[in-house]
């Protein structure tokens, strides 16, 4: 991946670290090691986006030992900003495989379309009700529910937890996090029985307006590159790609 000189793009990587919190973090010579009991790659991977001064081979081996001690696979998030910039090639040579190629997309919050589905709730505090619906729609098991709750509680900036209702029933939910003029969109999910009705678009429009009212001038999101329905939805909403990242994964030895 080719480095980019746009500082705003790297800032989005920093925001994404803040907006999808792990349970614990270890800083290692500019690399950010994140741990959340295995719940999501984002929260259980190495983010090598800052300076790196020590021998990179020794650092990789130490990271492998640390993650193995937590019974986790070693996962690196490979963005255009990795340090050192040849890290991706080194990991490939060590047998790491690429998974989940993902696009970061953004849009300005100027000229937002008004939503026409009025029945939504936005809470700025995490509630048991929202978490119940989130876990139901995302099929989060009881083992990971407590982890997810703590991860969401760990977010330090303004959060909007949104639910969209049909006839009093929550059929879609997600959340947005506002910081430094951006709002990140996370875990936008619609009940499988209510898809292809434009409900996700309506919910996101409500969330974008909420973000703008709370100081955001732009929004960003991450979408897996092969998720055609999501790509179509976000294009309709005016989002466009600014860069791509992937994960390099080395499976834990059993």
Determine contact, residues 15/182, Cβ cutoff 8 Å: yes
Residue 6 in this model has a pLDDT that exceeds 80: no
pLDDT at 1: 41
Q: How many Cβ atoms sit within 10 Å of the Cβ of residue 13?
A: 18
pLDDT at 253: 58
pLDDT at 7: 60
149/172 Cα distance (integer angstroms): 18
Q: What would the mean pLDDT of 46-75 be, rounded to a whole number?
A: 95
Residue 2 in this model has a pLDDT that exceeds 50: no
Number of C-alpha atoms within 13 angstroms, CB side, residue 235?
8
Residue 228 in this model has a pLDDT that exceeds 90: yes
63/65 Cα distance (integer angstroms): 5
Kindly compute the dihedral angle of the four CA atoms of residues 220, 225, 228, 232, in this order, to the nearest 10 degrees: 30
Q: Which of 19-33, 92-106, 138-152, 234-248 has the lowest mean pLDDT?
A: 138-152
User: Which residue did the predictor score with more confidence, 202 or 143?
Assistant: 202
Residue 4 pLDDT level (bands cut at 50, 70, 90): very low
Express the helix, strand and coil content of the chain in percent, nearest 5 each: 35, 30, 35
Q: What angle do CA 106, 20, 90 make, to 5 degrees?
A: 85
Considering the chain, what is the average pLDDT of its residues?
A: 93
For 126-177, write each residue's pLDDT tens digit.
999 999 999 999 888 888 999 999 999 999 999 999 999 999 999 999 999 9
49/31 Cα distance (integer angstroms): 6
Q: What would the mean pLDDT of 91-108 be, rounded to a whole number?
A: 96
């Amino acid at each position: 991946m080719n480095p980019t000189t746009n500082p705003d793009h790297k800032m989005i990587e920093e925001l994404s670290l803040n907006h999808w919190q792990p349970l614990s973090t270890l800083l290692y010579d500019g690399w950010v090691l994140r741990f959340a009991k295995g719940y999501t790659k984002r929260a259980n991977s190495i983010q090598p986006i800052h300076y790196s001064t020590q021998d990179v081979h020794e650092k990789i081996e130490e990271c492998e030992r640390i993650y193995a001690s937590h019974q986790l696979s070693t996962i690196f998030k490979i963005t255009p900003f990795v340090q050192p910039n040849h890290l991706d090639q080194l990991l490939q040579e060590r047998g790491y495989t690429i998974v989940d190629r993902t696009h970061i997309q953004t849009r300005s919050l100027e000229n937002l379309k008004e939503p026409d589905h009025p029945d939504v709730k936005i809470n700025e505090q995490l509630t048991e009700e929202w978490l119940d619906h989130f876990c139901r729609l995302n099929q989060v098991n009881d083992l990971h529910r407590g982890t997810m709750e703590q991860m969401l509680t760990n977010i330090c900036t303004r959060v909007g937890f949104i639910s969209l209702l049909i006839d009093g029933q929550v059929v879609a939910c997600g959340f947005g996090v506002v910081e430094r003029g951006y709002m990140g969109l996370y875990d936008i999910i619609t009940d499988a029985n209510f898809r292809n009705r434009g409900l996700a678009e309506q919910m996101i429009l409500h969330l974008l307006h909420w973000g703008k009212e709370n100081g955001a001038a732009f929004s960003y999101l991450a979408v897996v590159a092969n998720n055609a329905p999501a790509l179509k939805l976000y294009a309709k909403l005016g989002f466009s790609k600014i860069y791509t990242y992937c994960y390099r994964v080395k499976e834990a030895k059993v």
